[in-house]
DNA sequence: TCTCTTCCTTACCATTTGGTAGGTAATACT
DNA sequence: AGTATTACCTACCAAATGGTAAGGAAGAGA
């Protein structure tokens, strides 16, 4: 019948994880029936449970996939430019794009933090060393005189900001407008806050190279709606 | 209209809303059985449905209570100090304390944004005029030369930051430590980011009056789980 | 006392849903 | 070919859960 083992490029298991990620992100773990996942993949419900012992294991699979992906992507940050402003743009852009590229990831993580704080803590723990690495670069880049900045806390807050931005953008657009321009203002201000709080308004403005993590068109003008 | 018997200290209806807020915040709307709310209040499940036509109406009651509370509190911001730095501290402190004083509110709002974006949008819409008022003050306080700041977007992001901070603090403490000092660093950096991104690092440091929004009222909140 | 209203109870129902039983067809292995 | 394994199916079950039915206690007003 329909393409069996040979024609199967992506394993059914991976499809389950992918669809579950999307559905969990949209409706939440508890509100997503196993049947919906099965339907999305195109198999029966017991077939899903053939690949995972339980629904709970699907959730773990989704979470592990996200963090594994992130653990794989994050090290690229550590190879970024050496000049502090350029490095900042690079690092911020990487983090931003990781979540913005697929809001499902941000939504899922946000839900896990709410629903299962203890497990979310454990998962976050697996990337703490890398976050500390980023914080270390910030500390080194700013030098001794920046004793008002707390790099560890800063990294945490910016990660939060990016996650919540990816999560809430569709809701907060009621204030800035739903169009592309509203979203552009939103993204630009997010990048500005992240940068200006580190280098100061002057420093951030002086090098406005990568304020909005390269959307399509960066409109430098700003208007009231 | 329903003045009802005066003997009642706190109406059962209000108790239902209060307990539902706590439970919905902790576990989510879908994952909170009606029975749990009934148990928390100390009545039977059908008794809960005597006060609310359905579980859905309880959710609406919780949301309305939160936003009504906020709509009532926010105007105080508009009476704050006139000097821009002092006003900032005042406004930021108000927003921060509103959510930090009761993390359930932040958690509930965060969940609503994830689960029911359209309704969350509508609710946010009811406070947009006030947010624009705050943005207007920021615009006026900074003057013409601060054309890099987008006050409307700024207000949205800071609100997001405060909400997500109240929501995720218990998880992110894995990086900064669970003790009071870790939380203090967390709060201090949050305030610093909010302020420095508006006034610049120099401006923010010059007036470090209200970095960590006094925890007097928010501190003794640790019980119940 | 009788009646009406409000608030609340116990019993019950219908639906949803995670998970299981047991069988079948295709594939891999020998 | 013969056998074991993998992947999947239909049918089913037990638990959880939102909501309903029907009625009782308590107070107010007559």
Task: Return all residues near A111 (Cβ < 8 A) that are at least 6 apart.
Answer: A24, A25, A28, A29, B114
Strand C: which residues have Cβ below 7 Å from it?
A 1, 4-6, 31-35, 45-46, 49, 53-56; B 2, 4-5, 12, 38, 43-47, 50-51
User: How far is CA B220 from its chain centroid?
Assistant: 17
In the predicted structure, residue B221 carries a pLDDT above the cut 50: no
Segment B53-80 shows an average pLDDT of 86
Rounded Cα–Cα distance for residues B165 and B145 (Å): 31
Residue B150 resides in a domain: yes
Residue A108 resides in a domain: yes
Residue B215 resides in a domain: no
Residue A132 lies in domain:
60-200
Average the pLDDT over each of A109-113, B20-24, B84-88, B183-187 and give the range with the smallest value: B84-88
Residue A111: pLDDT band with limits 50, 70, 90? very high
Segment A88-105 shows an average pLDDT of 86
Segment A51-70 shows an average pLDDT of 93
* Nearest CB to B153 within list A30, A115, A189: A189
Residue B125 resides in a domain: yes
Segment B13-31 shows an average pLDDT of 95
Whether residue B171 contacts residue A157, with contact meaning beta carbons closer than 8 Å, is answered with no
Residue B17 resides in a domain: no
More confident of the two residues B26 and B134: B26
Residue B175: pLDDT band with limits 50, 70, 90? very high
Backbone angles phi, psi at A176, to 5 degrees: -105, -10
Count of structural domains within chain A: 1
Q: Quick one: closest CA in B to A171, which residue?
A: B121
Residue A195 resides in a domain: yes
Residue A91 resides in a domain: yes
Residue B206 resides in a domain: no
Q: Can you give the pTM of this predicted structure?
A: 0.86
**B32 closest-nt by C1' vs CA:** D17
Taking CA atoms, A136 is separated from A78, A149, B95, in Å, by 11, 12, 31
Instruction: Record the tokens describing residue B116, joined without a space.
Output: 């029911």
Closest alpha carbon to C1' of D16, residue: B33
Average the pLDDT over each of A78-82, A91-95, B126-130 and give the range with the smallest value: A78-82
Q: Integer distance in angstroms from CA B13 to C1' C3?
A: 27
CATH classification at residue A128: 1.10.357.10
The percent of residues above 70 in pLDDT, for chain B, comes to 84
More confident of the two residues A112 and A206: A112
């Amino acid at each position: 019948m329909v393409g069996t083992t040979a024609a199967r490029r992506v394993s059914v298991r991976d499809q389950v994880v992918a669809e579950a990620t999307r559905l969990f992100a949209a409706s939440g773990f508890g509100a997503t029936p196993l049947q919906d996942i099965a339907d999305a993949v195109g198999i029966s419900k017991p077939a899903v449970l053939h690949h995972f012992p339980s629904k709970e294991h699907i959730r773990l699979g989704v979470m592990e996939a996200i963090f594994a992906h992130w653990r794989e992507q994050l090290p690229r940050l550590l190879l970024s430019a050496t000049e502090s402003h350029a490095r900042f743009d690079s690092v911020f852009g990487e983090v931003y794009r990781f979540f913005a590229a697929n809001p499902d990831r941000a939504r899922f993580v946000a839900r896990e933090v709410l629903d299962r704080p203890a497990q979310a803590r454990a998962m976050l723990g697996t990337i703490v060393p890398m976050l500390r690495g980023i914080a270390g670069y910030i500390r080194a880049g700013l030098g001794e005189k920046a004793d008002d900045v707390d790099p560890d806390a800063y990294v945490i807050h910016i990660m939060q900001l990016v996650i919540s931005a990816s999560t809430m953008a569709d809701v907060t657009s009621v204030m800035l407008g739903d169009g592309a321009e509203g979203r552009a203002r939103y993204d630009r201000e997010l990048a500005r806050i992240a940068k200006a709080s580190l280098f100061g308004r002057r420093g951030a403005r002086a090098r406005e190279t990568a304020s909005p993590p390269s959307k399509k068109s960066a409109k430098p003008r700003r208007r009231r709606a």
